[in-house]
Amino acid sequence: MPQSLTAVTIHLVFSTKNREPWLRTPLRSELYAYATTVLANDGCPVLAMNGTADHIHALLNLSRERTIADTVKELKVSTSKWIKTKGAPMRGFHWQVGYGAFSVSQSKVSQVVRYIQEQEAHHRGRSFQDELRALLRAHRVASDERYLWD
């Protein structure tokens, strides 16, 4: 085949360090716009992005030229630097070290988009930790609670 073609859709989720509520409402929409641009510039168009004060979700099409790890690293580094420009109180901001990245079938994209769009309502009764545990179970990802949180 003379060209490389891919269709890899990823549901990405990660938290602020120690799940601290750094991402207040006024900052979030700017953050999502900035993060969407970072990902687009990395060849990873965003289908949906949303979250709460302590974590974000992104549904993206992974570039055929980048690994998930490289994409997440670029996203976290860029957005962390950007957040720290938002004033002295934000200079202590950090993302958690790890992340969750889950493959999404094309037949489930609209369902995951809705799930991401409804994050605020979803988290009125469920913590980030419980949500991540559920995602790990649904995708059959083994984890050890001792190393899951930072």
The model's pTM is: 0.92
Say which residue, 16 or 148, is predicted with more confidence: 16
The pLDDT, as a whole number, for residue 47 is 98
Domain boundaries of the chain, sorted by first residue: 9-147
- The CATH superfamily label for domain 9-147 reads Transposase IS200-like (3.30.70.1290)
- 130-150: average pLDDT: 86
Sheet holding 9-15, edge to edge: 46-52, 55-61, 9-15, 100-104
What is the 3-state secondary structure of the chain? CCCCCCCCEEEEEEEEHHHCCCCCHHHHHHHHHHHHHHHHHCCCCEEEEEEECCEEEEEEECCCCCCHHHHHHHHHHHHHHHHHCCCHHHHHCCECCCCEEEEECHHHHHHHHHHHHCHHHHCCCCCHHHHHHHHHHHCCCCCCHHHCCC
The pLDDT, as a whole number, for residue 3 is 86
